[in-house]
Structure 1
């Protein structure tokens, strides 16, 4: 299977049920309260308290760090891919698309970064992956700049016009399937 569902916070319950997700990755502001959908196994829910910023040292905000990205990678690698992985942030536009790309490369590291990022863009015109998460993910996953270049190549997503959850395959389709 290997599908990743990317959503805004307000749609997680609906999408978890609709897609039959059992695992969830939450990238929310530190101390932000929300309810985990009952269909998500509490033991398979990773919550990362991180703000949607691109630079460290921005007041009291928590910038994405190597530890956050390493947690995403470890969580993704333990995902059995039997059911879709739900990844969300507040709006489903920046942190969660970045985390989804990192998760996809963690489970299928041999795939082409540009092809992966194009799958993301085809699924969402609004996605603008958080640049700091992407840069750190590129480093942690030893992509040698390929992930950063691929995300820069698709550019900024379309202006936000409302909740637009999306899903895409974490792994490339095999020829002949």
Structure 2
């Protein structure tokens, strides 16, 4: 079954190889070099340059509407024949929010609260970036349910790096 895998930058090569991913989403500050895994063609790698913040901070790039629109479009174009890996620096905040948004975008039938509980079960450190989730909720017309779902699971356990995990999303059609 196709899955969205979530990991840190340090684990990107290992996770991409292990799951056989054809697509990668990078959410990291724009100055960080991220080599595209060899198994992923250029058009299947989405790079979203942003910092892990929830409110404006001088010198930082806050997650914005354009980032989320690009993420949703990328998710909907993904053929789901092979897995997609979503990563940020630590695999805790931006990447978990992006995976949550992608799953909601491609599977409107998913219950937001159940999906958030599954993320928490699979990743005790997951702390989805609230700003990204708010923008995803607005973009997808989820009427606050995505925000409420991540609020309900609360902040994850403190860690410097999250443990890789995945979300099953099923095939198209």
Question: Within 1, Cα distance between the matches of 2:77 and 2:117?
Answer: 25
Question: Within 2, Cα distance between the matches of 1:111 and 1:6?
Answer: 18
Deviations 1:48-104 (A, max 9, x none): 001000012x00100000100001100000011111110000000000000000000
- TM-score w.r.t. the length of structure 1 is 0.93
Tell me how many residue pairs correspond in the alignment: 170
Change (3 A) 1:141 1:18: same
Matching residue of 2:43? 43
Q: Is the 8 A contact 1:113 1:146 kept in 2?
A: yes
Cα-Cα RMSD: 1.1
**1:2 shift after superposition:** 2.9
- Unpaired segments ≥5 residues, structure 2: none
Deviations 1:101-144 (A, max 9, x none): 00001100121100111111111000000000001110000000
Question: Within 2, Cα distance between the matches of 1:39 and 1:88?
Answer: 16
The aligned runs of 1:40-79 (5 Å cut-off) are 40-56=40-56, 58-79=57-78
Question: Within 2, Cα distance between the matches of 1:162 and 1:127?
Answer: 10
Question: Within 2, Cα distance between the matches of 1:53 and 1:161?
Answer: 16
- TM-score w.r.t. the length of structure 2 is 0.95
Matching residue of 2:107? 108
The aligned runs of 1:3-152 (5 Å cut-off) are 3-56=3-56, 58-152=57-151
Question: Within 1, Cα distance between the matches of 2:128 and 2:169?
Answer: 15
Q: Is the 8 A contact 1:105 1:170 kept in 2?
A: no
Q: Is the 8 A contact 2:125 2:162 kept in 1?
A: no
Structure 1 stretch 131-140 or stretch 159-168: which is displaced more? 159-168
Question: Within 2, Cα distance between the matches of 1:117 and 1:101?
Answer: 7
**1:163 shift after superposition:** 4.3
**1:161 shift after superposition:** 5.3
